[in-house]
Structure 1
Amino acid sequence: MSAKNEASVWQGFKAFLMRGNVVDLAVAVVIGAAFTNIVNSVVKGIINPLVGAIGTTNLDNYSSCLSASCKGTKGIQIMWGSVLGSTLQFMITGAVVYFLMVLPMSKYLARQEARKRAREGTREVVEVTELEVLKEIRDALVARGGTGHDARWGDRP
């Protein structure tokens, strides 16, 4: 590969990394990894002991046997407890991400949009109000005895 091709490849890679979507994705992965540790701690420290009050503290111990007997590695076992644990971890992760990230960001963006609309609406009202004031001034001048036209200005409307 020539030096020119290496430079263009490097520039292309650099441009790819600097695009907003890639940076946002990298931040999401790092935040997701941090939340995963928190959620795993919540499941192990709170959810599993609560489940353990009615059974075992390790959800992986819940299973069903499809064969006549399941001892050790013999028999066909369905490990539905591990599926339940993973589902709970997924639900908790989703709830944490939604309530701590998505919902506040949605509310923030909605407030920003409302402020923007309010500013735009205020500008329109001011323009309309100024136009109305000018019309009132014109009407007052006409009512005071003028025709509304001045010979110096010609017959412009």
Structure 2
Amino acid sequence: MFEEFKKFILRGNVVDLAVAVIIGAAFNQIVNSMVSDVITPLVGLIGGSHDFSGIKIGPVGIGKFINAVLNFLIVSSVVFFGIIKPMKKLNEIAAKKEAAKQQTEQQPTIPEDVKLLREILEELKKQKV
């Protein structure tokens, strides 16, 4: 039973998942700091206030909901424009480099003796004409 557990733990998928969770947690702090320390104060400068928790419609307090929606929109835009778009561009550049590399690798190099034989063949064809 211990061997089976050891085999499960040492599989690549489990280790990759653990690393992804750890990096995701650390990255969450970066995104939250970007939102709370940079973006939200800018929204507060433009809109006058960045805390809408006091807004009520009658007895229903919708301010916290508005804060949550704005926070979601800010976080998702930071992730999209700060991470997704640049990563997509980097992947496109890497794919172009890889395609160019594969194309050069696929072109066979012709040995010098074969080139010389082809030139001789061309000259013989010219002499027959």
What residue ranges of structure 2 are gaps of 5+ in the alignment? none
**Secondary structure of the equivalent of 1:61?**
coil
Cα distance in 2 for partners of 1:64, 1:8 equals 59
- Measured at CA, do residues 136 and 80 of structure 1 come closer, stay the same or move farther in structure 2, by a change above 3 Å? farther
Cα distance in 1 for partners of 2:77, 2:117 equals 57
Which of 1 and 2 has greater Rg? Answer: 1
Identical amino acids, percent of aligned pairs: 14
TM-score, normalised via structure 1 length: 0.61
Q: Which residue of 1 aligns with 2:14?
A: 17
Q: Does 1:94 align with 2:76?
A: yes
What residue ranges of structure 1 are gaps of 5+ in the alignment? 66-75, 147-157
1:48 maps to which of 30, 36, 44: 44
Kindly indicate whether the alpha-carbon contact (under 8 Å) linking 1:63 and 1:81 is maintained by their aligned counterparts in 2: yes
Matches for 1:60-139 after TM superposition, within 5 Å: 60-65=53-58, 76-77=59-60, 79-124=61-106, 126-127=107-108, 130=110, 136-137=118-119, 139=121
CA displacement at 1:47 relative to structure 2 = 2.2
Q: Which has the higher contact order (CA 8 A, sep 6+)?
A: 2
> Deviations for 1:36-82, whole angstroms, at most 9, x for unmatched residues?
1331233553323543x3xx6531011101xxxxxxxxxx31x2222
How many residues align structurally? 125
TM-score, normalised via structure 2 length: 0.71
CA displacement at 1:135 relative to structure 2 = 8.1
